[in-house]
Structure 1
């Protein structure tokens, strides 16, 4: 008698069909379990068999299937064993692939690091005992969810300060960045929400940028983490993992500037940013040495995931939409500025005469140049999911 009548798809009775399907599924799972146990027992006696199996069965991932571009990357992601790509299918391209790492422009990366806007932080000009001054604010019409997350961020960054964002015109991100830069803040962080859900973070390095925009997802506050530890006021350590490209170096150095250069190791707190598949996973733990070989971790929180969408030069632009056109003739303000300039010249001459008569005076300290946001954006990098080449080339 043929066995086709015992197939679940040929049985019209629903209860009987589900019963036979569940039995077949259970038998298939038991067979797979026995096969895995036998394989593990055989590999326990022969360690080389396990290494050979792992070398032959490497999964295809987004990281190990990217095409190597020496003009962008600072490290070849395909240097380790991985599945074959389109370039490796051509035998003539194997020699070129081997010669690519030698043509890698390492001097360009060194020039980027030396001339980037974060050079002052890493040059040692900043006092390592003083934390960076970070301003944390929200999007307009924020809810309790955003405020709770901002409180967590203030606890993560030692020099952070939270100020509620007012409603109405005149409080654009660019204007807030200029206001913060003129008052000594080194960073601006804007947490955005949509339909009462956190969805983005804008990070601005003051006073001259750049500006990075990240999509925010998988947010979990400290109170929601089971068995979480309590944070202390110690400066945490920072661990950056997977930032191996030129863009990755820029993003990694941006996150480094949010923390003091010298951590306080007695606090045993560590902040980790792990880059995997272009997602940045944020975690904060406290470690404890159980022995000379074992270390225990206890998560403090919060935990969230970031994804870079674009990076701009300078501060966020403030576009004056509907602004009146300028007059062709001179305004009264320009005449007033000319009069003030003449007065300054006259005061300078009179001041010089008074110095000659009364003696030398102490020189006045130069005034800090006022930071004004631009009117147009200039992108350093932008995410374009519709272009496959952009997705493969510009990654962290």
Structure 2
């Protein structure tokens, strides 16, 4: 919401208050007694609920009438959300942006999408790691194909980068921890970078998810949602470079990175097809013959239903920085870095 729109809404609310004051209507906020003020507020709230229900009924009736007459139903109002009132961003990627397509055709990830390189990922932890972090790494090994876990030991990250390049690894994932809980993820693309640092939160292991499924060895289908800016495109391509670009649909596995308000939600599912009996409505006895009713009971109808089963793990990422080249904390150049000043507006997003 822009400043001008906010000022217009405030002016409109002020006009309503003045109109109520001229009409002699006492607002709940003007009542000094706390008990009476809360009672008045509850009544106003209840009246608003009734008006809202009446509007919904009228809308549904109008839609039903239009469909019966074969007309187009009246369009529904789009609710105002933080997402659809986001601040305008010059870096929003357009589908016909030739410059962006040319950049993506020659960037560090282009070889993965041309099938010239097969992803090979090295997974490790911080030097001091605990059981929850190692269990989280075990879950990641079931998600990412061609991923190998190496114990960190006393090696620093620059040594690990050199080792991984010599062993023809394409990416490194480092899971950091704090107070014996995983709290950070570092993704390094090899051999030229970039390096992304993410804050890791809301980690739920596979065993903790109720009714979780077991992932097969089939290569998963990758779903990237809502990476709309140029920076978002780059981060999405980095995630895509961790997975082979030829999914095996027989495995029915789907890995999702969903971006919402610059928080990246990770989910891992498998979809299942099940046959379910259809329960028919009881018809009147006068219209149905008893012989036909018996035949119907003998031949139950079935319907195929698709549903999702979560395999896990489940976690949330928030990007803190994106660095040129491989990891270098002293002399590295940053493409993008998160600063406290960026959080002043709730409707400003970067991915």
Q: TM-score range by the shorter chain?
A: 0.7 to 0.9
1-structure distance, mates of 2:74, 2:256 = 30
Is 1:160 the equivalent of 2:152?
no
The runs of at least 4 aligned residues of structure 1 exceeding 2 Å deviation read 7-11, 20-40, 47-53, 62-65, 288-295, 387-394
Indicate if the aligned counterparts of 1:384 and 1:390 stay in contact, CA closer than 8 A: no
Distance, in Å, in 1 between the alignment partners of 2:73 and 2:343 is: 36
Aligned pair partner of 2:229 in 231, 245, 267 = 245
Rg larger in structure: 1
Pair 296,163 (structure 1): closer, same or farther in 2 beyond 3 Å: same
Q: Distance in 2 between matches of 1:175 and 1:161?
A: 17
Matches within 5 A, 1:344-363: none
| 2:124 is aligned with 1:137 | yes
Aligned length: 290
* 1:386 aligned counterpart, secondary structure: helix
Describe the SS at the equivalent of 2:340.
coil
- CA 150–51 in structure 1, closer or farther in 2 if over 3 Å, else same: farther
CA-CA distance at 1:50 after TM superposition: 9.1
Cα shift readout 1:240-260 (whole Å, capped 9, x = no counterpart): 111122111111111111111
Say yes or no: does 1:61 pair with 2:85: no
| Mapped partners of 1:111, 1:285: distance in 2 | 33
Which of 383-392 and 232-241 deviates more?
Answer: 383-392
Q: Is the CA contact (8 Å cut-off) linking 1:311 and 1:381 kept in structure 2?
A: yes
Q: By how many angstroms is 1:202 displaced?
A: 0.2
Which residue of structure 2 lines up, in the alignment, with residue 381 of structure 1? 336
Q: 1:73 to 1:195 in 2, by over 3 A?
A: same
Name 2:99's counterpart in structure 1: 108
The TM-score normalised by the length of structure 2 is: 0.73
Structure 1 residues 390 and 183 mapped into 2: Cα distance closer, same or farther (>3 Å)?
Answer: farther
Matched, 1:298 2:309: yes
Distance 2:100 2:33 in 1: 65
Report Cα offsets for 1:300-322 as digits up to 9, x if no partner.
11111111111111111275xxx
The residue aligned with 1:92 is none
The Cα shift of 1:395 comes to 1.3
8 Å contact kept, 1:247–1:394: no
**What is the CA RMSD across the aligned residues, in angstroms?**
3.3
**Distance of 2:309 and 2:116 partners within structure 1:** 35
Deviations 1:80-128 (A, max 9, x none): xxxxxxxxxxxxxxxxxxxxxxxx8x2320221022111211222235x
Counting only pairs closer than 5 Å after superposition, residues 57-96 of structure 1 correspond to structure 2 as 58-62=79-83, 64-69=85-90, 72-75=91-94
User: Is 1:307 the equivalent of 2:326?
Assistant: no
**In structure 1, C-alpha distance between the alignment counterparts of 2:190 and 2:111, rounded to whole Å:** 12
- How far apart are residue 62 of structure 1 and its match? 4.8
Once the 2 structures are TM-superposed, how far is the Cα of residue 64 of structure 1 from its aligned partner? Answer: 3.0
Aligned-residue offset at 1:274 = 0.9
Unaligned stretches of 5+ residues in structure 2: 1-25, 67-71, 276-302
For 1:229, the equivalent position in structure 2 comes to 213
What is the DSSP-based 3-state SS (H/G/I as helix, E as strand, rest coil) of the residue aligned with 1:215?
Answer: strand
Task: Give the structure, 1 or 2, with the largest relative contact order (CA under 8 Å, sep 6 or more).
Answer: 2
**Alpha-carbon displacement from aligned partner over 1:48-96 (angstroms, at most 9, x marks no partner):** 89965624xx324155322131xx22139xxxxxxxxxxxxxxxxxxxx
Correspondence for 2:110 among 119, 132, 147: 119
Paired residue for 1:41, among 43, 54, 57?
57
Residue pair 2:266, 2:315 contacting (<8 A) in 1 also: yes
Q: Secondary structure at the match of 2:255?
A: strand
Distance 1:50 1:177, change over 3 A: farther
In the alignment, the residues of structure 1 paired with residue 179 and residue 41 of structure 2 have an alpha-carbon distance, to the nearest angstrom, of: 43
Alignment of 1:208-219 (within 5 A): 208-219=192-203
More strand by share: 2
Cα distance, 1:295 vs structure 2: 2.9
Alpha-carbon distance between aligned partners in 2 of 1:28 and 1:393, rounded to the nearest angstrom: 34
2:138 counterpart residue number: 151
Q: Which residue of 2 aligns with 1:274?
A: 258
Unpaired segments ≥5 residues, structure 1: 12-16, 77-103, 320-375
**Matches of residues 13-24 of structure 1 in structure 2 within 5 Å?**
none
Give, in whole Å, the separation in 1 of the partners of 2:195 and 2:77: 42
Q: What CA distance in whole angstroms lies between the structure 1 residues aligned with 2:252 and 2:231?
A: 30
TM-score, length-scaled by structure 1: 0.65
